[in-house]
Amino acid sequence: MSRNVIVWAVVIIVSAVGGALIQGQIDQKSAPVAAKSEPKSAPAATTPAAPAQTAATGGTLDAVRQRGSVLCGVNTGLAGFGIADSQGKWTGLDVDICRGVAAAVLGDAEKVKYTPLTTQQRFTALQSKEIDILSRNTTWTLGRDTSLGLNFVGITFFDGQGFMVRTASKVTNAKSLNGATVCVQPGTTTELNLADFFRSNNMKFQPVVIESLQELTGAFVAGRCDAMTTDISGLVSIRATQAKPDDFLVLPDVISKEPLGPVVRHGDDQWFDIVKWTIFAMIEAEEKGITSANVEQMKSSEDPAIKRLLGVTAGNGEALGLKEDWAANVIKLVGNYGESYDRNIKAQLGLERGINNLWTKGGLVYAPPVR
């Protein structure tokens, strides 16, 4: 009896001590890593103004520099936003954000590795550090911005949700969809707005929920659903890639706000800033009339704001932890916001600027002062 007690006591003590030791080792192991990354990420710490804000979990900038590429999560294939051609070359407005960040950080817009992600995979891929930026027609919502541990960087496209139907169905507005079967992708804001819309209008619907966009579109085209719903830009893109686009009609109703933009992880303020100001630099460049074609001449402009943007007057680069020509590289290698919009959204989908025009031209696109 007493012998058993001794055995148990020994076992418990040994496992407790062992556990504490192992746990201690793990803690110790993670501590030096965090400590090491801090001095390194403080870029050329010559002035006290250099950013000291790199959080313990940060270090994305260092990782990108060491790796020599930006890991970018994109759509599996949505013309205008993110799509690969037969040579594996990615294009799109969302793709251009990643190319812009690569130009700002590495001076080369092609140093991007793309990971195509479905609606369901995208947030986990970012949380688990498989990617540095998620740039994939993702709607900014409170929940995603907080409890998912993510930060929305800004808005690169102001969108709204709509419906697409078969032209032959003679349906011309969303209110006449009572009782319809609707094709929708899971894990989207779309899925929730759809339910909200029908609920608030006292109408009934049957969802058909399929994860792969290709399978879902196939089901809609085959007639499984009376309507398909997603962001209007997405509908226009899907319609444009059909064999007979005229067989399908995007209804005029807009049932939600879908501000789309890139996302980064919580806890790395410096990286958050870099992505954010890359977008603002593209917008500012359009406002100031700087394009990929004229950026070199513009360097000799007398406008102090242009001089600061292009790094002729130093300061911005250092504040971000980048070289002073960061924005000039973004504009030279990717172009300003309007150039990217025109070659992707306008050329491929035929969508006019509308509310995505500059604030000076009646739109919502606006950048804070780049100084």
Partner 1 sequence: MAFWNDRHTRGVLYQVAALGGVILVGGILVSNTMDNLARQNIATGFRFLTREAGFGISEHLVDYSPADTYLRALYVGLLNTLRIALSGIALATLLGIVVGFARLSSNWLVARLASVYVEVTRNVPVLLHLFFWYAVVTQAFPSPGAALEPITGFFLSNRGVAISWPGLGVPTLDGFNFRGGAVLSPELSALLIGIAIYTSGFIAETVRGGILSVPKGQLEAARSMGLTGWQVLRFVTMPLALRAIVPGTTNQYLNLAKNSALAVAIGYPDFVSVANTTINQTGQAIEGVAMIMAAYLTLSLLISAFMNWYNRHVALIGERS
| Residue ranges in contact with ligand GSH by CB under 6 A | 75-76, 78, 118-119, 137-139, 185, 188-190, 213, 230-231, 234, 258, 260
CA separation for the pair 49, 54 (Å, rounded) = 13
CA torsion 19-23-28-33 (nearest 10°) is: 150
Name which of 156 and 189 has its Cβ closer to ligand GSH.
189
Per CB under 8 A, does 8 bind partner 1? yes
Which one-letter DSSP state was computed for residue 343? I
The encoded tokens of residue 77 equal 């294939």
Name the minimum Å distance from CB 11 to partner 1. Answer: 5
Does 205 bind partner 1 (CB under 8 A)? Our answer is yes
Contact stretch for partner 1 (CB under 8 A) within 215-223, 278-286, 305-313, 332-340: 215-223
Residues near 143 by beta carbon (within 8 Å), at least 6 away in sequence: none
Q: Is residue 21 a contact residue for partner 1 (CB under 8 A)?
A: no
Task: Give residue number: closest CB to ligand GSH.
Answer: 234
Token pair for 82? 């993110």
Chosen from partner 1, ligand GSH, none, partner binding at 181 (C-beta under 5 to 8 Å by type): partner 1
Q: Which does 316 bind (CB under 5 to 8 A by kind): ligand GSH, partner 1, none?
A: none
What does the DSSP assignment read for 38-82?
HHHHSTT--STTS-----TT--HHHHHHHHTSEEEEEESSBTTTB
- Min. distance of Cβ 94 from ligand GSH in angstroms? 10
The verdict on 57 binding partner 1 (CB under 8 A) reads yes
> Comparing C-alpha atoms, which of 332, 265, 26, 248 is closest to residue 123?
265
Cβ atoms of 328 and 103 closer than 8 Å: no
Q: Please check whether residue 129 is in contact with residue 149, taking contact to mean a CB–CB distance below 8 angstroms.
A: no
| Min dist. Cβ of residue 249 to ligand GSH (A) | 17
| 124 sits near partner 1 (criterion: CB under 8 A) | yes
CB 112 within 8 A of CB 97: no
Name which of 240 and 312 has its Cβ closer to ligand GSH.
240
Is residue 258 at the binding interface for partner 1, with CB under 8 A as the rule? no
> Is there a contact between 278 and 97 (Cβ–Cβ < 8 Å)?
yes
The token pair that represents 195 in the structure block: 């339910």
Answer with the entry of ligand GSH, partner 1, none that 143 interacts with (C-beta below 5 to 8 A by kind). partner 1
Q: How far is the CB of 184 from ligand GSH (least distance, A)?
A: 9
Site size for partner 1, by CB under 8 A? 60
- The C-alpha angle 104, 38, 371, rounded to 5 degrees, equals 40
Identify which of residues 124 and 294 has a Cβ nearer to partner 1 in the complex: 124
67: tokens are: 């790796």
Regarding 178 and contact with partner 1 (CB under 8 A), the answer is yes
* Phi–psi pair at 231, nearest 5 degrees: -60, 145
- Residue 230 interaction partner, one of partner 1, ligand GSH, none, beta carbon < 5-8 Å per kind: ligand GSH
If the CB atoms of residues 17 and 314 are measured against partner 1, the closer one turns out to be 17
Phi–psi pair at 84, nearest 5 degrees: -100, 140
The residues of the shown chain that bind partner 1, judged by CB under 8 A, are 3-4, 6-8, 11-12, 14-15, 18-19, 22-23, 26, 57, 119-120, 123-124, 127, 143-144, 146-149, 177-181, 186-188, 191-192, 194-196, 198-199, 205-212, 215-216, 218-219, 222-224, 226, 265-267
